[in-house]
Structure 1
Amino acid sequence: MKGQLDETQALSWRMEQYMAESRNVLTSCIRLKSELQYDYFTELVLEAAKTAEKLTDKLRRLTLEVTVNPVQYENYKAELVTIHGIEVEFSEGIVKVALPLLMPHRKDFYTDFLYKPLHTALQNWCMKQVKNGMELPSYEECLVCFVHVYNKKLPLAGRVRDHDNIEEKHVLDIISSFYLKSDSGLFVDTFHMTRLGTEDGTFLFVMESSRFPGWIREKSQSLDIEKEAL
């Protein structure tokens, strides 16, 4: 176990170095508005992310080894939802899910960083609704609206993707497992919107298909992220 702790500490130090350098590069990138600097910033963040994934994997394995109390481990998994910053709301028949990150490209091989936390967040939210005797939404035919928000302070070239290049299937699979009859095209429609905001993120709105025309007429002009109209 000492060897595991040593490896974990080394990965933590390496990630910290990547992040420190990326912060300096980002400051320069914003000041100079340089795409070349932004490319270097992206490389540093990717290296930091890969290092973080290795670190997380080792910590998860270590957690499984040292945590013998099942209740303590379940509490740990519940706390992960708060840590990942995923928020779930339900109002007037519409489920709103706020994700503090952008959706991955549909060709990305590694997507667990989003889908596992999303599944846990929806699972915990549904359990809480049932426990509190509150309504648990269920849709026969629904529409899932994806609102992709890009940080307007960062270069947009190469970051804003076509909607057909965004991975949505896994998200629909997770949503369908909690709220929908099926993720078949017979029962689910999707709609994508892109907006600029103060930080990157994604909003999901799940509603009955019949609600969407009126909802989009009302929201299309007011979906201003900075005004928090969402």
Structure 2
Amino acid sequence: MDRTSISRRIGSIKGDIEKLSNTLCAIEKTDIENYPDNYAMLTTDAALRSELIACRMRHLLYGSTATRKETYLASAGVVQGIRIKAQENMLEITLPCLLPKRKQRQSTEFLIDPLYFTLSQYSDNNELPKFRQCVVCFSHIYSEKFHNRRVRDYDNLELKQLLDVLSTFIMVDDTGLLVDAYNTTEIGEADCTRISVMAKEDFPKWLNEREKSLKTISDF
């Protein structure tokens, strides 16, 4: 990448950072009690712009240095706080945020790429279960610090790309004939998404145990 292209990209990123700064100032001045919808809109805009900035910085890094994409994204997974726990008949992944909506391409890229390379690195040193028939449960956990009106429906969430990543490592096939997907909503200490993959015969027991331990669970 030549110097002119680098400068052009840096200029675009600086413009986004300035817009982010202005939005943060607006958030700081917004009365969350009296104008919760405005606060939510501004906060969402700031979060998405932050992810856009991160993705553009990644592309600048890949295009202008010798840094390997897989090396960087494995580090990004660590920084983001992606956690993986594998047991004999279950895989549990914790993502540090709620899932983005469909069509938010940059937001999806921000999360999916580090997840793929984190799983790849994990599988190099740990044995992962391999499922022919399984259930994938998405637990959408909302911070107890904020109003419950933030809770969204599941229709527009980006689940397909996550399933594609998971199938690469732990599924024989991700066809609907072999894989069932369930969604639950919980209230917790912080926003995050927990993905639990298990054999179909283990799902009723898992769900029963979760319902006993969580008063805020809703399953669909």
TM-score (normalised: structure 1): 0.78
Q: Deviations over 1:124-165 (max 9, x none)?
A: 221232xxxxx22111111111111112332222x3233444
Distance across 2 between alignment mates of 1:109 and 1:54: 10
Relative to structure 1, is the Cα distance of residues 50 and 214 closer, same or farther in structure 2, using a 3 angstrom cutoff? closer
Deviates further, 59-68 or 45-54:
45-54
Aligned to 1:47: 45
Paired residues in the alignment total: 209
Match of 1:153 in 2: 145
Distance in 1, matches of 2:187 and 2:210, equals: 15
- 1:206 paired residue among 197, 213, 216: 197
Counterpart residue number, 1:59? 57
Which of 89, 92, 105 lines up with 1:93 in the alignment?
Answer: 89
* Residue in structure 2 matched with residue 132 of structure 1 by the alignment: none
Closer, same or farther: CA 178–155 of 1 in aligned 2, 3 Å: same
Shift of 1:80: 0.9
Deviation, 1:221, is 0.9
Aligned mates of 1:69, 1:121 — CA distance in 2: 17
In structure 2, give the amino acid aligned to 1:220: E
Shift in Å at residue 95 of structure 1? 0.7
1:185 counterpart SS class: coil
Quote how far apart the aligned CAs of 1:167 are: 3.4
Letter in 2 for 1:44: L
Most deviating of 206-215 and 147-156: 147-156
CA 1:224–1:16 in 2, change beyond 3 Å: closer, same or farther?
farther
- Tell me the amino acid that sits aligned with residue 86 of structure 1: I
Q: Aligned partners of 1:152, 1:3: CA distance in 2, in Å?
A: 42
Q: Write the deviation string for residues 89-144 of structure 1: whole angstroms up to 9, x where unpaired.
A: 11242111111211233x44423233223222222221232xxxxx2211111111
Cα distance in 1 for residues equivalent to 2:51 and 2:154: 27
- Residue among 89, 100, 103 paired with 2:99: 103
Give the letter for the 2:165 counterpart.
Answer: I
2:188 corresponds to which letter in structure 1? G
How big is the alpha-carbon RMSD for the aligned residues of Structure 1 and Structure 2?
2.5
SS in 2 for 1:103: coil
Please list, as runs of the form range in 1=range in 2, the aligned pairs for 1:1-230 lying within 5 A after superposition. 1=3, 2-25=7-30, 28-29=31-32, 32=33, 34=34, 37-68=35-66, 70=68, 74-105=70-101, 107-110=102-105, 111-129=108-126, 135-157=127-149, 159-223=150-214
Provide structure 2 residue ranges, at least 5 long, that are not aligned to the other structure: none
CA 1:188–1:200: 2 relative to 1, 3 Å = same
Q: Which stretch of the first structure deviates more once superposed, 209-218 or 138-147?
A: 209-218
In structure 2, how many angstroms separate the alpha carbons of the residues matched to 1:139 and 1:64?
34
Question: Normalising to structure 2: TM-score of the pair?
Answer: 0.81
Identify if the C-alpha distance between structure 1 residues 187 and 198 changes in structure 2 by more than 3 Å, giving closer, same or farther. same
Q: 2 CA distance for matches of 1:191 and 1:51?
A: 30
Going from structure 1 to structure 2, the CA distance change for 1:217 and 1:20 (only over 3 Å counts) comes to same
Distance 2:129 2:81 in 1: 22
Q: Percent identity?
A: 30
Q: Report the CA distance between 1:39 and its aligned residue.
A: 1.8
Distance 1:108 1:4, change over 3 A: closer
